[in-house]
Chains A and B, each alone.
Chain A
Amino acid sequence: MADTTKEGVSRRGFLSWLGLAWTAFSAAMAASGIALARFMFPNVLFEPPMSFKVGRPEEFALGVDERFKPQGVWIVKTTKEIFALSTVCTHLGCTPNWLSAEQKFKCPCHGSGYYVSGVNFEGPTPRPLERFAVFVADDGQVVVDKNRIFQYEKGQWTDPQSHILLS
């Protein structure tokens, strides 16, 4: 037994224990690294809820309702439907203003303009505003769900969840 010392630890055995130890140490370090990275993702957000009730369909006047702009939506009612438009400009994410005299949404940052429908017609923006899911809850109130997004350019504005049809 040339490679065995007096204590009975062989070179091969020592090296495999060393390898195991380094593997365990690296795994522990990686796990703590992931745990530390997780620390940067807060569990509780002090933001408005993503899903909320805005009132009964018949309570809305025709046109753009700006009451829920702080929650990030315009409720738009036409003679045919109600839908919820996102207040985030699809150019770079600023918040456009509703100009009722000109009947358009106009972004103050770079001048993108949108029709009442949310479709863009001027400025640098590449695509229309996004719409959020809307449906009527059991109590007759309209619920806006910002977790579900409908994009015109993907043909999603025909989805039944993207608007409430008025009969």
Chain B
Amino acid sequence: MPGLKDVMESVKESQVWKSVARNPLPSNARTRALAVLNNVFLHLHPVRAPQSGIRLKYTWCMGGLTFFVFLVEVITGILLMFYYRPTVEFAYADIIDLREQAPLGLMRELHRWGAHTMVITVWLHMMRVFMTGAYKPPREFNWVVGVVLLLLTLLLSFTGYLLPWDQLAMWAVTVGTNMARATPFVGYEGPGAALLKLGDINLVHSADDVRFALLAGRFVGEATLLRFYVLHCVAIPFVATILMAVHFWRIRKDGGISGPM
């Protein structure tokens, strides 16, 4: 009768185990470092973190919490996509059905609360980094990446705002995108747009300016709903994921978590 130890031993000797796990189980400093270095997810992290740098009082764990909430948003978002149709005919009814008919009618609320939480944690993370001076050399570039990630978080909130397709969504996005009309040169009411003329013909007008590209029309309509849906579910998360990988990897490359001053 083989004991548990013998079973574990034969599992670790098997070809399947060896092909997946390149290293023995970590037992000393060297094998612990190897476990981090040889794992595609863990290698984004610093191999070691100073005890002073990961105190809750110092980091608030806000970056980690933001990433956690992002994962919650990805999972609940994918689940919501199984029930939601981004068309004028179905969008609002599907949102109501997600609450009234779908199992666990909480999924959409989780996604919405998560979105609010993520904006809050991103701001607090940014404030912590600012207050502890963690943006200073050699970490300036990672601060810039972080600012872009902040922008993407806000854009995710904005594009998600339209998807319920109720009066609030409609007019909030109408008002919000009207600002794009005032973009210099590429918005038709912006400064410089009136200078771009061929004879009497305005080159920048309501059907070819930057707001038109955002809305796929002169006003918020079905094409806008589809465009915001694709931006919200695919395009922005795609860019954000890549930047997050860079953001985490740069922490390691810039010398780990910053220490207390």
Question: Is the beta-carbon distance between A93 and B178 smaller than 8 angstroms?
Answer: yes
Question: Is the beta-carbon distance between A42 and B216 smaller than 8 angstroms?
Answer: yes
Question: Is the beta-carbon distance between A47 and B219 smaller than 8 angstroms?
Answer: yes
Q: B212 touches which one: A41, A46, A92, A93 (CB < 8 A)? A: A41
A34 within 8 A of B: no
* Those of A93-148 within 8 Å (CB) of chain B: 93-94, 109
CB of B210, distance to nearest CB on chain A (Å): 10
How many residue pairs between the two chains, A and B, have CB atoms under 8 Å in the bound complex? 31
B174 within 8 A of A: yes
Given contacts A47-B217, A47-B218, contact A42 B223 (CB under 8 A): yes
Given contacts A41-B212, A41-B213, A93-B178, contact A46 B171 (CB under 8 A): no
B73 within 8 A of A: no
* Those of B173-226 within 8 Å (CB) of chain A: 174-175, 178, 207-208, 212-213, 216-219, 221-223
A45 within 8 A of B: yes
Looking across the interface, which residue of chain B has its beta carbon closest to that of A41?
B213
User: How far is it, in angstroms, between the C-alpha of A92 and the C-alpha of B208 when the chains are bound?
Assistant: 20
Question: Is the beta-carbon distance between A109 and B218 smaller than 8 angstroms?
Answer: no
Q: How large is the interface on A (under 10, 10 to 19, 20 to 34, 35 or more residues)?
A: 10 to 19
User: How far is it, in angstroms, between the C-alpha of A42 and the C-alpha of B213 when the chains are bound?
Assistant: 8
Question: Is the beta-carbon distance between A45 and B175 smaller than 8 angstroms?
Answer: no
Question: Is the beta-carbon distance between B175 and A46 smaller than 8 angstroms?
Answer: no
User: How far is it, in angstroms, between the C-alpha of A76 and the C-alpha of B211 when the chains are bound?
Assistant: 30
CB of B168, distance to nearest CB on chain A (Å): 11
Mask: chain B, 135-154; 1 = CB below 8 Å from A; 0 = not: 00000000000000000000
Q: How large is the interface on B (under 10, 10 to 19, 20 to 34, 35 or more residues)?
A: 10 to 19
Question: Is the beta-carbon distance between B171 and A94 smaller than 8 angstroms?
Answer: yes
Given contacts A40-B213, A46-B217, 16 further A-B contacts (CB under 8 A): A40-B216, A41-B208, A41-B212, A41-B213, A42-B217, A45-B223, A46-B221, A46-B222, A46-B223, A47-B217, A92-B175, A93-B174, A94-B174, A94-B175, A109-B171, A109-B175
Chain B residues in the interface with A (C-beta under 8 A): 171, 174-175, 178, 207-208, 212-213, 216-219, 221-223
User: How far is it, in angstroms, between the C-alpha of A47 and the C-alpha of B218 when the chains are bound?
Assistant: 8
Looking across the interface, which residue of chain A has its beta carbon closest to that of B174?
A93
Looking across the interface, which residue of chain A has its beta carbon closest to that of B221?
A47
Looking across the interface, which residue of chain B has its beta carbon closest to that of A42?
B216
Q: A93 touches which one: B175, B216, B217 (CB < 8 A)? A: B175
Q: Which residues of B contact A45 (CB under 8 A)?
A: 207, 217-218, 223
* Those of A36-61 within 8 Å (CB) of chain B: 40-42, 45-47
User: Could you list 17 A-B pairs, sorted by A, with CB under 8 Å?
Assistant: A41-B208, A41-B212, A42-B216, A42-B217, A42-B223, A45-B207, A47-B217, A47-B219, A47-B221, A92-B175, A92-B178, A93-B174, A93-B175, A93-B178, A94-B171, A94-B175, A109-B175
CB of A21, distance to nearest CB on chain B (Å): 29
Q: Which residues of A contact B217 (CB under 8 A)?
A: 42, 45-47
Q: Which residues of B contact A93 (CB under 8 A)?
A: 174-175, 178
Q: Which residues of A contact B221 (CB under 8 A)?
A: 46-47
Closest 7 CB pairs of A and B: A92-B175, A93-B178, A40-B213, A93-B174, A94-B171, A42-B216, A45-B217
Looking across the interface, which residue of chain A has its beta carbon closest to that of B177?
A93
Q: Which residues of B contact A41 (CB under 8 A)?
A: 208, 212-213
CB of B118, distance to nearest CB on chain A (Å): 27
Q: Which residues of B contact A47 (CB under 8 A)?
A: 217-219, 221
User: How far is it, in angstroms, between the C-alpha of A109 and the C-alpha of B175 when the chains are bound?
Assistant: 10
Q: Which residues of B contact A109 (CB under 8 A)?
A: 171, 175
